[in-house]
Structure 1
Amino acid sequence: MIKEFSFKQFGNLEFSKSALQDHALTAIEGHIKILFIPKNAIIQVDFQEIAMETDALLFINPNVVLKPCETVGGQLMHFNKDFYCIEIHDQEVACDGILYNNVFEIPFINLNQAQSDDIQRIIREIQVEMNNEDSSTEEMLRILLKMIILKSTRIWKEQHQLATKDQQTDVQFLRKFSKLVEQHYKTRHTVADYADLLFVTPKNLSKKIGLVSKATPNEIIKNRIILESKRLLAHTTMTVKEIAYSLNYEDDAYFIRFFTKNTGISPITFRKQFK
C-alpha cells in the first residue's frame, strides 16, 4: 500500500521473496526505507548476502539495491523526502541522521525480543493507519515513523556505547564524517581531505572513528568508492573508463589497479560475473 499527500509519499510492503514482484522495489528505489527483517531471514544488500541472527531493522538510503533471498515475514516501510526529512525534523532522527549517514557498517539494528515486539507493534499501527482516510492520517503516519527512527537511534547508541550525554559530541562527529564521505567520495579520496574538512588532524580523525568502527578512515573511504564502482558496473552501461572518470580517476589504468587490489577481480570480470 502507498499513501500520497500532495507530493508526500509513504508506503508499506510485505518483504518476502514470494510477495514482491520484480518491479516493486524498482518503483520505489528513490525512496528512503526502513526494513524489519525476522530472525533467520537471508537478504542481499547491494552485493552482500546477509543471514540474520536476530530480528533486525535495516535503514536504507535511496538507490541501495535490496533483494529478499530467503525471507518470510519482513516488512518494508518507504517514504520520500517530502514526507519526512531534515528540513522539518530534529537532525539526529531525520533522514540524514546517524542511521542513514553511517558509512562504517551496513546500518542494522539488532533487536532483542522486547525491542522486536515493540517495533512490530508500531508496524501494526502503521498498517491500521494506512487504511484510514481522515485528516489526521498523514501526521499519524509521520509520528509512528519517527517513533521507529527515534527508538532505533537510541538502541544504536546503546549498542555502540554512545548513549550518555558526554558522548553526544562523538555521535555528531561520526555523523558529520559519514555525511562528508557520502557527499565527497567521488572527488576526495584521502584521509587528509576529510581531516581538513573536519578541522582535525588525520591522527585524531582515525582515533575518533575507531570508537565505533574496526575499519580505518582510509578503508571506509575506499570501501565507499568501491561500492559505487560496483553499482555502476552492475546497473549501468558505462564503460570502465567512464566510471573511472566519474569517480575522479583521470587514469583508468590506475582505477583498474585500485579496483582489482581491493576486490580481487578486475572491473570487467566483476561485470561479467554479476550479469
Structure 2
Amino acid sequence: MAKIPVIEQCTVSYKEDKHFLADRLDVYLERNSNLVFPHRHNFYHMVLFLSGAGKHEIDFKQYSITRGQVYVMGPGQVHSWMFEGDMKGYIVNFDIDYFKSLLLQSDYVESLAMFSSLNEGVFTLDELQLREMMGLMSQLIELNEKPIVSDLNRSLLLYILLKLDQAYAPNFPSKTVDYHLVLIKNFIALVDQHYKDLHLPKEYAELLFVTPNHLNSVCKEYLGQQAGEVIRNRIILEAKRLLILPDWTVSQVAYELSFNDNSYFTKFFKKIEGITPEEFRRSQWK
C-alpha cells in the first residue's frame, strides 16, 4: 500500500520566493507535470479555471471543471486532478505563516468561510467577478516576478482572498445576516477547532451559550442537518484523511479522534459510511 505523500511548497515552487507562488495554470502544470497522483499539501493552495476540462478531487469528493470555477484548499486536505485539453487559469500557493508578519490575528485567513473543512471550497464566479479576478491575478503574478518580497504581495493576495470569500456561496439559504447566521458560523468554527475532543451537540451549545434544542433548530433551518450530523461529518472527514495513511492503524485513528473503544469507532464509521474503516482504506488503493 502506497503512502499519500505530503507536497511541500519548496518542491513545487520554481520562483525565488519559496513561501509564495502565483502563476498561470498552464505554466505551473508544465513545471509540475508529475502531480497527478493523490497528495496533500503543507500550504494553502488555490486554482481559478479559465478553460480546459476534466475533474479534480478534494477530500474524496469529485468535481467537474468549468470556466470560472475556483477551488481553495488548506493544509492537510487530500486531492488529485485528472485534467483534459488545454488547461488555462491561475494558481496560487502560500505557506501557513505567509501573513504572520502582516496580520495581528495570525489565523485570520484560516477563519475565512471558504477554508472551513465543513464547507466545500469549490465555487464558480460569474463573468463580472471572473473578469475582475483575472485582472487581480495578473497583477499578483507580475508581483511574484519581482526579486524582492514585500508586503505588497501579501496585501494584494489578502485582498484577493477576501474578494473570493465574499463571492463564495456556502450552503446557506439566501437570508440577511442575522443572529442565527452568526450562530451557525461560530458553531462551524468551533467544530473545526474541537471535533477531536467534543462529539456532542450539548458541548458546543454550552460554548455558544444556547440550548442544544435551539442549536439543532438553527442548524436544521440553515444547513438542513442536525448539529450532531455536522459534528459527525467533520469527524468522518478527518477519519478518512488518517485512514489513507498506511502507517496509522485503525486503533491509532480511533484514539486520535478520542474514541476510547476501537470497536465503537468501527461501528460509528460503518453506520455513517456503510463500510468499515478497513474496507474504506482498501477502497482507496485498488
Give the TM interval when normalised to the shorter protein. 0.7 to 0.9
Cα distance change, pair 158–231 in 1 and its aligned pair in 2 (3 A): closer
Other structure's SS at 1:88 match: coil
Query: Is 1:258 the equivalent of 2:271?
Result: no
Q: CA 1:220 to 1:241, structure 2 compared with 1: closer, same or farther past 3 Å?
A: same
- Residue matched to 2:83: 70
- CA separation in 2, counterparts of 1:204 and 1:187? 22
1:151 to 2:163 alignment: yes
Residue ranges of structure 2 left out of the alignment (5+ in a row) = 1-13
What residue number does 1:194 align with? 204
Paired position in structure 2 for 1:218:
228
SS in 1 for 2:168: helix
Aligned residue for 2:55? 42
Amino acid in the other structure paired with 2:235: I
| Pairwise CA RMSD | 3.2
Q: Does 1:97 align with 2:107?
A: no
Could you tell which deviates more after superposition, 172-181 or 11-20?
11-20
Counterpart residue type for residue 253 of structure 2: I
Choose which of 42, 46, 56 in structure 2 pairs with 1:30: 42
**Secondary structure of 2:46's partner?**
strand
Q: 1:97–1:184: structure 2 CA closer, same or farther, 3 Å change rule? A: same
Q: 1:187-237: CA deviations, max 9, x gaps?
A: 111111111111111222233334542333222111111111111111242
Q: Does 1:119 align with 2:133?
A: yes
Q: Distance in 1 between matches of 2:135 and 2:205?
A: 43
Q: Which has the higher contact order (CA 8 A, sep 6+)?
A: 2
Quote the Cα distance in structure 2 between the aligned partners of 1:225 and 1:185: 6
Question: How many correspondences in the alignment?
Answer: 267
Question: Which of 192, 202, 206 in structure 2 is aligned with 1:182?
Answer: 192
How far apart, in 1, do the equivalents of 2:258 and 2:107 lie?
Answer: 31
Distance, in Å, in 2 between the alignment partners of 1:140 and 1:177 is: 34
SS of equivalent residue, structure 1 residue 95: helix
1:233 matched to 2:243? The reply is yes
Match of 1:55 in 2: 68
Report the CA distance between 1:170 and its aligned residue.
Answer: 4.8
1:268 matched to 2:282? The reply is no
- Aligned pair in 2 of structure 1 residues 124, 29: CA closer, same or farther (>3 Å)? same
Do structure 1's residue 9 and structure 2's residue 19 form an aligned pair?
yes
Q: Distance in 1 between matches of 2:163 and 2:274?
A: 39
Partner in structure 1 of residue 253 of structure 2: 243
- The 1:14/1:251 distance shift into structure 2, 3 A limit, reads farther
Report the counterpart of residue 109 of structure 1 in structure 2. 123
- After TM superposition, the score normalised by the length of structure 1 is 0.82
Percent identical residues: 24
Judging changes above 3 Å, is the alpha-carbon distance between structure 1 residues 70 and 238 closer, same or farther for their aligned structure 2 residues?
A: same
Q: Which moved more, 1:49-58 or 1:264-273?
A: 49-58
| Deviation of 1:74 (Å) | 4.1
Whole-Å Cα distance in 1 between the matches of residues 60 and 24 of structure 2? 22
C-alpha separation in 1, matches of 2:40 and 2:251: 30
Q: Which amino acid aligns with 1:238?
A: W
Alpha-carbon distance change, 23 to 56 in structure 1, aligned in 2, over 3 angstroms: closer
**Alpha carbons of structure 1 residues 51 and 85: separation in structure 2 relative to 1, 3 Å:** farther
**Separation in 2, partners of 1:254, 1:28:** 28
TM-score of the two chains, using structure 2 as the length reference? 0.80
Matched to 2:239, the amino acid is S
Q: 1:2 to 1:170 in 2, by over 3 A?
A: farther
